[in-house]
Structure 1
Amino acid sequence: MTTRGLRPDGTIAREGSLSRVPPEFAPVVVAARTRIAQTFAPDRLHSAYLYGSVPRGTARPGSSDLDLLLALQHRPTAADRADADALESALDTAFPQIDGAGVLLFDTATLLSDLERHDLGWFVSCLCTPLLGPDLATRLPRYRPSPLLARETNGDLALCLPRWRARRAAASTDAELRALVRGAARKLVRTGFTLVMPRWGGWTSDLTESAEIFGRYHPDRAAQLRAAATAARTPTADPAVLALLLDDLAPWLAAEYTTVHGTKAPRP
């Protein structure tokens, strides 16, 4: 039994499970496990994980993607990335119930490092569902909805702004703009939620709930974060939406986040 996404001891519960995978997506998960094992031999792969809406049980056929993380025995190489790209394409082609597949690649040393303890380590431990191999979560601590976790997960928003604006300026198609809106809106909603997460005292990955919780503490920005949650689910190429996200909400949120939680530890 969890309350506000927490275990009875107040630590964040792992949010997904293979038992929660919707029936429509079960064949996709089976195929993903088989294809991963066929492609990445044990000397390359330590473990594989699902994350996102599929293991949370909230995926919608035809509109949800399949998200995977592979923990490799070594630093990912160009050959590893090429194999992961081929895996993504094969799954997306074979299964119309998913709107794309994405594969993240990291080595176990990075995932277990002190630097990533409250970012990638937390991500594996709390947001990823084991699919293949030994679970790295057994080698990681339990996590609480703390200011440290807030800082290390989303204290990098200011670094995203110039990249997003460059993408907007370079975009030549509505599809490119919609992809930008989707990614930026998701990041903004999650950052807005983690801004207030330590005060609220819990965890959720649900975008609508995240925006609602944020709005309790920042009612003057509540409508904007609700709009971001909507854009994350149904992205648009509307310039007004892009302006709201990139030129109004994002700069304010980045500054507020730095004031409240500080900035994420620099990465190489």
Structure 2
Amino acid sequence: MEHRGLDTDGCFEREGSLGQVPGAFAGVVAAARGRIRDAYGRRLHSAYLYGSVPRGTALPGRSDLDLLLALHHEPAGEDRDAAEVLARGLDEDFPEVDGVGILLYGKDTLLSEAERFDLGWFLACLCTPLLGADLAEHLPRYRPDSLLARETNGDLADVLPRWRRRMREASTPDEYRRLCRLFSHHLVRTGFTLVMPRWGGWTSDLTESAEVFGGYYPQRADQMRAAAAAALHPVADPAVLRAYVEDLGPWLADEYTARHGTKTPRVAAAGRT
């Protein structure tokens, strides 16, 4: 049987590790560790890497650096300002990375019952410890079931109006490319988690995610393959974004709700976008 990111008990194996960080990114990861510690001091509970860098698939000059910071308290204005300065500084000082993203949460939110199958799962399964005590030790083990699918990506219908607004506000090629990467990545991940319980496994590879999805929805397979390609090589084409919010996105939101239900509402948190 295929491995599919699960252990012998059918639970998610944590993906990524510091040992998998490509050599070209060792400097920026080391700098991130030091600068996070300096910026937050005792306010910081722990810090994590996620994405292509700890998975070992990052490409110099093309991949971004993704960080999650857990604070002892809920983030305040000064914490968000520090994250913005930190992200900008790392991006400017290290040409190996094409952008730096920082998610910021209080540890109580990450460990809350409301986030058990969303942020909790994300931290425990997709994040690599960088600093501090690992919060994953306080979280359960996870399986690729419908509950997880619902609580991770069962809110696409709520997201689409925000995407339409951001599209209307965009006007430059760089803005369109950023939205293309964001929308494409989100749609491919949502398409994959739609079929994840049936497939019975996990992958963070966008190309593989699109192929898995296409096996269950062949009529939408080409669209999802194109979205996976656009997530890796975003284009400054408003027509691509319109197709997402007018066709693929609404269809996917309806199909997701029909199969898994709607994500449980929660209070907006500082790290959400």
TM range (shorter): over 0.9
Look up the match of 1:235. 234
CA distance in 1, matches of 2:178, 2:259: 29
1:17-32 paired onto structure 2 within 5 Å: 17-32=17-32
Deviations along 1:125-181, one digit per CA (max 9) or x if unpaired, are 000000000000000000000000000000000011111111111212121111111
Secondary structure of the residue that 1:67 maps to in structure 2?
strand
Give the Å deviation of 1:195.
0.3
Code of the residue aligned with 2:39 in structure 1: it is T
Give the Å deviation of 1:90.
1.2
Look up the match of 1:215. 214
2:267 aligned with 1:265:
no
Secondary structure of the residue that 1:113 maps to in structure 2?
coil
Code of the residue aligned with 2:203 in structure 1: it is T
Look up the match of 2:65. 66
1:1-268 paired onto structure 2 within 5 Å: 3-42=3-42, 44-268=43-267
CA distance in 1, matches of 2:85, 2:165: 28
Code of the residue aligned with 1:9 in structure 2: it is D
Deviations along 1:58-88, one digit per CA (max 9) or x if unpaired, are 0000010110000000010100011111111
Structure 1 gap segments, 5+ residues each: none
Secondary structure of the residue that 2:197 maps to in structure 1?
helix
Higher deviation after alignment, 193-202 or 32-41: 32-41
Higher deviation after alignment, 166-175 or 65-74: 166-175
Give the Å deviation of 1:240.
2.7
Give the Å deviation of 1:244.
2.1
Code of the residue aligned with 2:217 in structure 1: it is H
Secondary structure of the residue that 1:192 maps to in structure 2?
helix
Count of residues paired in the alignment: 266
CA distance in 2, matches of 1:172, 1:96: 26
Higher deviation after alignment, 175-184 or 193-202: 175-184
Deviations along 1:27-53, one digit per CA (max 9) or x if unpaired, are 1111111111111112x0100000000
CA distance in 2, matches of 1:199, 1:73: 38
Higher deviation after alignment, 205-214 or 169-178: 169-178
**TM-score normalised by L of structure 2:** 0.96
Which runs of structure 1 show a deviation greater than 6 angstroms over 4 or more consecutive aligned residues? none
Give the Å deviation of 1:102.
1.2
Secondary structure of the residue that 1:41 maps to in structure 2?
helix
Secondary structure of the residue that 2:48 maps to in structure 1?
strand
CA distance in 2, matches of 1:83, 1:180: 24
Structure 2 gap segments, 5+ residues each: 268-273
Cα RMSD over matched residues?
A: 0.9
Q: Could you tell me the percent identity over the aligned residues?
A: 66
Code of the residue aligned with 2:89 in structure 1: it is A
**TM-score normalised by L of structure 1:** 0.98
Secondary structure of the residue that 1:131 maps to in structure 2?
strand
CA distance in 2, matches of 1:31, 1:174: 30
Code of the residue aligned with 1:97 in structure 2: it is E
Secondary structure of the residue that 2:41 maps to in structure 1?
coil
CA distance in 2, matches of 1:124, 1:242: 29
CA distance in 1, matches of 2:178, 2:246: 17
